[in-house]
Amino acid sequence: MLPPRVALLLTLAFIVFLFRRDLREKPNVSGALWLPLIWMLLICSRSVSAWLNIFGLPVTGAVSVEEGSPLDACFYLGLATAGFYVLTKRKVHLSEIIRNNRWIIALVLYSFISIAWSDFPFITFKRWIKILGDPIMALIVLTEPDPEEALTQLVKRCAYVVVPVSILFIKYYPEWGAYYEPWSGGRMNKGIAGGKNSLGADCLILGFFFCWYWLQTWRSERNIRRRNELILIAGFLLMIAWLFRKAHSATAVISLLVGVMIVVFVGLRSINKRYIGTYMLAGVVFIAVAELVFGISGQLSEALGRGSGLSGRTVLWSRLLEVDTRPFFGTGFESFWLGDRLQQLEGVFFFIPNEAHNGYLEIYLTLGLIGLFILIGMLIAGYGRIRRGLFQNFEWGRYRLGLFAAVILYNWTEAAFKAYHPLFFAFYLIAMEYPRTHLATAQTSLGVSRSEESRDLAYAEA
């Protein structure tokens, strides 16, 4: 095994090589794409204050679980403000955003309204501010000259950092890439992320992308670039498979397999794309019946070594439903896990949980039945938009459909519908829509090459 410092230098050199390789190909993206990239890298890894502490800088982290870190809050707010400025320069209109994303806007607004009945209104407000960054960054990607190319570059560049650094931390810097459970003493690998489940979510997003990207590249024209790209994809898929093995995140693995199966299934020539909704509904009914009759979730959990209770999640869910909340309105946006409610969960595990391990239950606890209804409406509307997209751009459409299914399934045993979760950001990328209005490249009098200056864009509504 290499000395840690040598491994660190080789990892940094590999990352620099990958970024230089991409930039030399001059993809059709603007310099503004660096904002969503920084945002995605942070939510896929750790906070700014955590990184500064790793680098040896004496920075105070979170003041408390409730208050968080002022430095992190200012940095995220700065990113969101910069993103808003980009959208303003592109003449992105709020009316168009609302018209095309009504359910998403409804969830954001209802989350804001819930501040009124939260026991911690100021903390709830600060946490609500955080979720504005996801749609802002998603809109930057969607308003690029070529949104599909922008998303491809975004995910690839994110993988260039997340995957090799995660391997580096796990193998050579375990003090940063691993931790030990206090109740069992077992080692848990987290890589660049904040925990093993977070690493699994990262691998789900990146692994699904490279599986889809492999299919895209395989059908391209045979040349040296295609060969090199296939080698790159294969290398990252092997590294992601290794990280999956270290993370032991069964939910992420199953969600990835389901997402990839849907991409392959939709691509079969024998499948009529007009009946995708019927196929999906039949699949949901089949799974529901199998769960009621045979209890397949428990059997699958046992097969994965988690026990029939999904690693204690079923016990947690039943206890959470017993906690006194406002059934219709909830406790307020992301405020359930604050205050004295946690005392009612003492004794369920060797630790006090801080999430429901179910995205739909998490929404119910914080936003009530009304919030859950809005979430379901958002998912249905997102599916309808994705289905229609299959007939406009099939390859992009089936990427969205597969990842959409993976997000839906992942939230059955993990909670991803919350701020600063990579899968929630991924959901915004595939579910939001902004109409492709008249887009023209601004003419410049300078004879510059195809750089950031020559790709300034003028956006105007058709």
Q: Residue 460: in which H helix or E strand, if any?
A: strand 457-460
Residue with tokens 């994110």: 158
User: How many CA atoms does the CB half-sphere of 34 hold within 13 Å?
Assistant: 7
Task: Give this prediction's pTM.
Answer: 0.87
Range of the domain at 33: 4-460
Longest CA–CA span in the chain (Å) reads: 71
Spatial contact of 11 and 168, defined as CB atoms under 8 Å apart: yes
The domain total for the chain is: 1
Mind giving me the DSSP string for 231-268?
HHHHHHHHHHHHHHHHHT-HHHHHHHHHHHHHHHHHH-
Q: Spell out the per-residue pLDDT of the chain, length 462, in tens.
A: 789 999 999 999 999 999 999 999 888 899 999 999 999 999 999 988 889 888 877 665 554 555 567 888 889 999 999 999 999 999 999 899 999 999 999 999 999 999 999 988 888 888 888 889 999 999 999 999 999 999 999 999 999 999 999 999 999 999 999 988 766 667 899 999 988 999 999 999 999 999 999 999 998 888 998 999 999 999 999 999 999 999 988 889 989 999 999 999 888 887 777 777 777 767 766 766 665 555 555 556 555 555 444 556 777 888 888 887 888 999 999 888 887 777 766 665 656 677 888 999 999 999 999 999 999 999 999 999 998 888 888 889 999 999 999 999 999 888 899 888 999 999 999 999 998 754 443 333 333 333 443 344 333 333
**Residues 347, 352, 354, 357: what is their CA dihedral angle, to the nearest 10 degrees?**
-40
pLDDT of amino acid 314: 77
DSSP 343: G
pLDDT of amino acid 295: 57
pLDDT of amino acid 122: 87
Spatial contact of 405 and 397, defined as CB atoms under 8 Å apart: no
Spatial contact of 153 and 213, defined as CB atoms under 8 Å apart: no
Alpha carbons 124 and 110: distance in angstroms, whole number: 12
- Helix (H), strand (E), coil (C) string for 75-93: HHHHHHHHHHHHHHHCCCC
